[in-house]
Amino acid sequence: MSYENPRHNGIYNSAFFGLLLRHIWDFFQKPLPIFTAVISGSFFSIWFSFSKKITSKYPSVELNTLGYVAAVIVNYLIAFSLKEPLNINFSSAPWLANFGYGIAGFIGSGLTVYGFKFISAHKGSLILLSEIIFGTLFGILLFHESLNLTTLLGGILIILSLALPEVYQLKN
């Protein structure tokens, strides 16, 4: 029996419940950023699932570059329509930080597109939940953020959901 069997939806329910526990208080305090993060995550899911279908025809680097060019264009259009100020001092610390963030995001996205060539979208989406665990750990270690009970429980459920597909595979 494979973890992708519909009878094993508990894996995905566990991951969703972990995600919900991790962010439930944030949602009540700051609904707009959480809502926009959900939209962003939805678009990333669509992109990575779609890229899985076409990576046999196009190189991962080409797909990733086109995706990032499209994202930059869309983001600038949104920023201009919202009349966001634009810092044109390209040697400033914020621009250097954005450049570093862009490089890290480009490499991360490219590796994700490449990785999705070799694993199913279901398993890949579960693995991508580990981003939340690492984000939480870096927040605690680098920015001295506090760890509350719902964050801890949500993280545990996410880790369990990451492990369950392997447990099912080993059992069968």
Residue given tokens 């969703």 in the structure block: 16
Summary mean pLDDT of the chain: 81
Please state, in angstroms and rounded to a whole number, the distance separating the CA atoms of residues 169 and 8.
12
Task: Examine residue 12 and state whether it is found in any structural domain, yes or no.
Answer: yes
Domain that holds residue 20: 1-29+120-172
pTM: 0.66
pLDDT tens across 116-160, in order? Answer: 888 887 788 778 888 888 888 999 999 998 888 888 888 888 888
Q: Kindly state whether residue 50 falls inside one of the protein's structural domains.
A: no
Report how far apart the first and last C-alpha atoms of the chain are (Å, whole number): 6
143, part of any domain = yes
Question: Angle, to 10 degrees, between the axis of helix 10-29 and the axis of helix 121-128?
Answer: 40
* Phi, psi (degrees; rounded to nearest 5) at 77: -60, -40
Give the tens place of pLDDT for each residue, 127-139.
Answer: 888 888 888 899 9
Q: What is the distance of C-alpha 35 from the center of its chain?
A: 14
Tell me if 63 is assigned to some domain: no
Report if residue 104 sits inside a domain.
Answer: no
Q: Into how many domains does the chain fold?
A: 1
Q: In terms of pLDDT, which residue wins out, 24 or 147?
A: 147
Domain-located, residue 55: no
pLDDT of the residue at 51? 81
